[in-house]
C-alpha cells in the first residue's frame, strides 16, 4: 500500500500529470483520427504546466498551507521559552547517502532547515530532548540517523538526541511518537506547507503538538521583478509542493486518519 501510494502521488503531481496529458494528446494526434481531441489535450497540458510555473499561481496554492500556523517564537521572553516542553520532535524530509560527501550535502533542503529550527528551539528549552524522525524507505541509512549525525556535529549532546528510524510516512511518525511523548505538549517541527497535515494526524491520535513551522517558501513582502513575468522551475516546484500536500490530506481523510 505504501509503494502504491507513492506511485499514484507521483503520477498526480503537476509536472508528470501535465506531461501525461500532453503525450496522450500527441498519441491521438499522430496515431488516430481524433485530431481535435489530441490538440485539445496537448494544449491543456502545456497551458496548465505554464500557469503552475508562475509565482502568482504557485503562491496562491501554497500560502493557505504555510500561513495556517504562526512561527514558534522563543526570543524576547524574559524567563526563557514560551512553552516549557520536554520534547522537540523534528519530522524527516529526505536525503541521499553518499559517504564521499559531508552530511550537510547528503541531506535535502527541507530536512536541513527543519533540523536547524529544531536545534534552535532545543537550545531555548533547557532539559529538553531532540526527537529526530525519519525512516530508510529507499535508502540504506535512515533520515533520522543523518539528522542525528549533523546535530551532533553542531554541538547537540548525544544524550539529548532520540533517533526514531522506523517511520515511512507522516502517519507512521504520529503513531510512533505517541509512544514517546504521550499526551504531554511537545514542539512539532516540520515544513510550513507540511504542518497542516502533520497537525491533523497527530491531533487525531489525541496528542498535543505545538506547531513550529519552518522553511516558508512564500514571503509576504515579495516585490515584482522582471522575472515575475516569466515561468520558473522554482515556482513549478512550489505548485508541486502544494499539490502534494493537498493530495496527502485527501488520502489521510480517505483512510480515516484525520
pLDDT digits (tens, 9 = 90+) for 203-217: 999 999 999 999 999
Q: Which segments of the chain belong to CATH 3.40.50.620?
A: 83-214
Class of the CATH-defined domain 83-214: alpha beta
Q: Which of 197, 174, 188 is nearest to 243 (CA)?
A: 197
Sign for the pseudo-dihedral over CA of 173, 177, 183, 185: negative
104: part of which helix (H) or strand (E)? Answer: helix 103-106
- Answer yes or no: is pLDDT of 171 > 90: yes
Q: What pTM value is reported for the model?
A: 0.92
- Band (pLDDT 50/70/90 cuts) for residue 80 is very low
% of the chain at pLDDT higher than 90: 83
Q: Which of 223, 249, 254, 195 is nearest to 59 (CA)?
A: 223
C-alpha span between 87 and 70 (Å, rounded) = 19
pLDDT at 24: 98
For 23: left if phi > 0, alpha if psi spans -120 to 50, otherwise beta; the answer is: alpha
Amino acid at each position: 500500500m505504501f509503494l502504491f501510494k507513492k506511485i499514484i502521488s507521483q503520477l498526480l503531481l503537476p509536472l508528470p500529470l501535465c506531461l501525461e496529458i500532453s503525450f496522450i494528446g500527441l498519441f491521438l494526434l499522430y496515431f488516430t483520427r481524433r485530431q481535435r481531441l489530441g490538440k485539445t489535450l496537448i494544449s491543456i497540458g502545456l497551458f496548465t504546466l505554464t500557469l503552475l510555473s508562475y509565482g502568482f499561481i504557485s503562491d496562491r496554492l501554497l500560502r493557505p498551507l504555510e500561513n495556517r500556523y504562526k512561527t514558534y517564537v522563543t526570543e524576547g521572553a524574559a524567563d526563557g521559552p514560551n512553552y516549557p516542553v520536554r520534547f522537540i520532535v523534528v519530522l524527516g524530509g529526505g536525503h541521499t547517502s553518499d559517504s564521499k560527501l559531508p552530511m550537510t550535502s547528503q541531506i535535502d533542503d527541507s530536512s536541513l532547515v527543519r533540523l536547524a529550527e529544531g536545534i534552535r528551539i532545543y537550545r531555548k528549552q533547557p532539559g529538553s530532548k531532540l526527537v529526530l524522525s525519519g525512516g530508510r524507505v529507499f535508502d540504506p541509512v535512515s533520515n533520522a540517523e543523518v539528522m542525528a549525525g549533523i546535530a551532533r556535529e553542531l554541538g547537540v549532546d548525544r544524550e539529548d538526541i532520540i533517533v526514531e528510524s522506523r517511520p515511512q510516512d507522516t502517519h507512521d511518525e504520529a503513531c510512533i511518537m505517541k509512544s514517546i511523548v504521550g499526551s504531554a505538549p511537545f514542539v512539532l517541527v516540520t515544513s510550513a506547507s507540511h504542518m497542516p497535515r502533520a497537525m491533523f494526524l497527530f491531533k487525531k491520535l489525541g496528542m498535543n503538538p505545538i506547531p513550529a513551522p519552518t522553511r516558508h517558501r512564500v514571503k509576504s513582502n515579495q516585490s515584482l521583478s522582471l522575472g515575475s513575468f516569466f515561468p520558473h522551475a522554482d515556482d513549478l516546484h512550489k505548485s508541486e509542493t502544494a499539490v502534494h500536500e493537498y493530495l496527502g490530506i485527501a488520502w489521510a481523510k480517505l483512510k480515516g486518519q484525520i
